[in-house]
Amino acid sequence: MGLIYLAIFLAAIGFAIVVAFLSLVLYRLSQTMKVMGSSIEEAEKTMNIMAPRFSNSLKETNLLVDDIQEKLETTDSVFDSIGYMGGSVHNLAKVYNKQSDQMTEEELTQSLTPFINAMKWTEVTLQMYKKTK
């Protein structure tokens, strides 16, 4: 009988040791959860402060992007005009090449004189405009 009591006593001591370590682990876990809870609380407060700022920044960024898009859309017509002008210059060059092959040098110079004079006067006008500005 004494052996059974000794085994029960050792089992009780083992159980007490397991319960002690388990209670220590649970205590440390509860302390960790408290620290984590306070950290999350602080993070939540910070997010409550920062969220409106981020929202305002996003709204301002959205307005800025819309403004840039509108301004870029207004420049589309300028680039279209430049493209059309390039096509016109290309067509003019083709016509010039055809005509220059059929004309003599003197006839070519005589036919280009009005265009050359127009370019000169345009340049003079631009220079005068820049000086008066």
Q: Could you report the per-residue pLDDT of 56-101, keeping only the tens digit for each?
A: 999 999 999 999 998 888 888 878 888 888 787 788 788 777 776 7
Output the average pLDDT for the chain.
Answer: 86
Give the CA count within 13 Å in the CB-facing half-sphere of 65: 6
Distances (CA, A) of 10 to 2, 4, 14: 12, 10, 6
Domain ranges in the chain?
Answer: 2-102
Question: What pLDDT band is residue 133 in, cutting at 50, 70 and 90?
Answer: low
- Above pLDDT 90, what percent of the chain? 40
What burial letters (b/e) apply to 98-127, b meaning 16+ CB within 10 Å?
A: eeeeeeeeeeeeeeeeeeeeeeeeeeeeee
- The Cα 17–Cα 11 span in angstroms is 10
Q: Angle of helix 2-102 relative to helix 105-132, nearest 10 degrees? A: 120
- The Cα 130–Cα 133 span in angstroms is 5
Identify the pLDDT of residue 77: 80
